[in-house]
Amino acid sequence: MGRSPSSDDSNLKKGPWTPEEDQKLIDYINKNGCGSWRALPKLAGLNRCGKSCRLRWTNYLRPDIKRGKFSEDEERLIINLHSVLGNKWSRIATHLPGRTDNEIKNFWNTHIRKKLLQMGIDPTTHKPRTDLNHLLSLSQLLFAPQISNLISLNSLDTALKLQADHAAQLAKIQLLLQIINTNTLLPNIDSTAAAAALLRSQNLQPFDAQASGISNNQTPLPPSNSSAINENSKAYFDMRNKSLSGSSDVEAGNSLPALVSESPETCTNDNNQGETQANTNDSSIFEAWQKFMDDEPSGTYWKDVLDLTPSSPSPVSW
């Protein structure tokens, strides 16, 4: 393995580049091209290692570099590409002319990552978060109606209360789905079918399901209404939707993964077979849930949900 060129010479300058150094590098490359980065510093009269020169040129001095804020389109594209490629910054950068891998990496770590976390989406997997902190924040939402009831005695705006109720409902569903998806408590449950049954029982709109992280469809649905979670998730799906329809330069075969992966039962090669299996699993799902709820001392909410018997399941599509 070749030794690092910068590690063997302590006399070489490190740290921020001065305008004079920049000018020397630009002048040299304009005259002679890049050539060998190892030889370049000496030839250009720079007391830097070749690696440092290459980095300075590719990330900062190159004439075709686009500087300034990332546009919304670029942001959408980065999120989409990241969901397909992961932390392959250089590969992502090839889809954004004028942007460097370093710039995209920084933008991801400082902006997008945080944004996704706030939306309740894991920036690594692009799926709803399952970490403890997030579940704790969901649990806070669960109590939103009770809190708003207390405040409503002091004339809380009705719209705010509705929003709190709605947020709590979404939190419940997301929590349920996360429990199912972690496959620790109920390993045999088909999450997609369970979600469908839950939707039926709650008379939820399709987007409400998506805001909660329920999806068995590659293409997100159009957004609908309000509440903090709803708006955030809506923005995320909207972003990915736009990018899906607008970006054709992602290599074939790299279709975007579903936010919540399909359960093994529904991921068969034969689509019909998968669908049938999901339907026939409906009753066993409810049996399992019923048992789960029976074990829960005060799970009245979940009981309410599940007591709506699945005797005549209507097809749910979203």
Residue 37 interacts with DNA (CB under 7 A)? yes
Query: Rounded to whole angstroms, how far apart are CA atoms 209 and 193?
Result: 13
Q: Of these, 32, 87, 139, 276, which contacts DNA (CB under 7 A)? A: 87
Residue 117 interacts with DNA (CB under 7 A)? no
Residue 51 interacts with DNA (CB under 7 A)? yes
> Does residue 129 contact residue 122 with C-beta atoms inside 8 Å?
yes
Return the number of the residue (3 or 31) whose C-beta is nearest DNA: 3
Number of residues that bind DNA (CB under 7 A): 40
Return the number of the residue (6 or 290) whose C-beta is nearest DNA: 6
Q: Of these, 23, 32, 90, 149, which contacts DNA (CB under 7 A)? A: 90
Q: Of these, 66, 88, 98, 273, which contacts DNA (CB under 7 A)? A: 88
Return the number of the residue (17 or 286) whose C-beta is nearest DNA: 17
Return the number of the residue (31 or 315) whose C-beta is nearest DNA: 31
Return the number of the residue (112 or 198) whose C-beta is nearest DNA: 112
Residue 59 interacts with DNA (CB under 7 A)? yes
Residue 225 interacts with DNA (CB under 7 A)? no
Which range in 2-10, 131-139, 231-239, 263-271 contacts DNA by CB under 7 A? 2-10
Write the binding mask 6 to 35 for DNA: x where contact by CB under 7 A, - elsewhere.
Answer: xx-----xxxxx-----------------x
Residues that bind DNA (CB under 7 A): 1-7, 13-17, 35-38, 48, 50-52, 54-56, 59-60, 87-91, 101-103, 105-107, 109-111, 114
